[in-house]
Amino acid sequence: MNDSRRKEPHRAEGDVNLSARRKAWAARHVDAETRAMLDEDARYFLHQSLSTPCLAAVRKAEGIWIEDMAGRRYMDFHGNNVHHIGYGHPRLIAAIKRQMDELPFAPRRFTAEPAIALARKLVALAPKPLGKVLFATGGSDAIEIALKLARVATGRFKTVSFWDAFHGAGFGASSVGGESLFRAGGIGPLLPGSEHVAPFACYRCPYGYPSRDGKPILEQCRMVCADFVRYVLDKEGDVAAVIAEPVRAVPYLPPPGFWQAVRQACDAAGALLIFDEIPNGLGKTGRMFTAEHFDVVPDILVLGKALGGGILPIAAVIARPELDVAGHIALGHYTHEKNPVTCRAALTTASTSSRTARPRRRPSTRRKRCSIAPSKKG
């Protein structure tokens, strides 16, 4: 039953396709065939924010372009962060077709060459010492694998993450995420222990400090955004992990030294650092992994979206070998975890992306590894 008193999620979070100008444009430009498809879409799909109503119908996606039913071509600057190598990359399509002919599926408890090759490739590309992987069918699932692993490895259940962040649509991913569209409106209660702090955002700083041309004035703010992460870790005392996008997908860049400070705070508190590189990893920022820009290595790194080349859904978790401590439980164990076709797509995408990314920057300093022994407070 609808509750008229229920607070609606904040409408500013994303495009809800309700403006009068958009409706007027649609009335002038949407052809009869597209209108029929949009009506059918509205008829058969459950409606949800950010997906309904649809803008138009796509009949072709190639390179950086999408084309609608009327033949209009649009340069797609968004692409839902899946088209790092372009839509319909010919090398990717050819690899998928070959794999479908050779081996279309591998049942559970069986491995296959494409899965091993993909794991080997990701470990070779990832910042050291990351060296163990698991695959999932989507980024939200991979985030929840990372959360489970952090709990098992530390013996704790709490997390610290940022308001305004997006980490996926599952209950665990929504809990550590910070967008009300995925948390409010009758969805809760969510995971206990999901603590949030205001994010780094030097332009319109949520902590109230001024900026200069959108850049921080560190002598004034003294990077309070990083200090507050440390403050919460100190006060809670038993946090399993800090989970964050190293570059916010809004986008916002962190102030200089931010991630070094958070890394040190995690080490001091015995918490793991999880980087969600689902939207920005795989070469999108010019380096293969966003973390490489900041000379910081997380304990767990999560990839998704573009990993399947914009054709097939697949995600990956890459962790420090010392975190391989959950052999007694199922962290994911998805039906298509080691699907040869999706793994081949990801291997081809990773190989293609690595050819254009700049060489890896080695961290300038070595850090002391934190213990992963279970917390007495957990």
pLDDT along the chain (378 residues), means of 10: 52 67 86 95 92 89 95 92 94 98 95 98 97 97 98 98 94 93 88 96 92 91 95 96 93 93 98 97 94 96 97 98 96 95 98 81 48 41
- Residues 35, 159: one domain? no
Same structural domain for residues 226 and 295? Answer: yes
CATH of the domain at 347: 3.40.640.10
Strand 211-212 relative to strand 215-216, pairing: antiparallel
DSSP 110: -
Range of the domain at 215: 90-356
Q: What is the pTM of this model?
A: 0.91
Q: Which pLDDT score, from 0 to 100, does residue 365 have?
A: 42
Quick check: is 14 in a domain?
A: no
Which residue spans within 131-185 are E strands per DSSP? 132-136, 158-162
According to the model, what pLDDT value does residue 94 have? 98
Measured distance CA(93)–CA(226) in Å, rounded: 43
User: Same domain for 309 and 180?
Assistant: yes
Contact predicate 268/252, CB 8 Å: no
- Contact (Cβ atoms closer than 8 angstroms) between residue 98 and residue 355: no
Q: Are 130 and 318 in contact (CB under 8 A)?
A: yes
Same domain, residue pair 36 and 122: no
Query: Is the same domain home to 117 and 205?
Result: yes
Task: Identify the pLDDT of residue 291.
Answer: 95
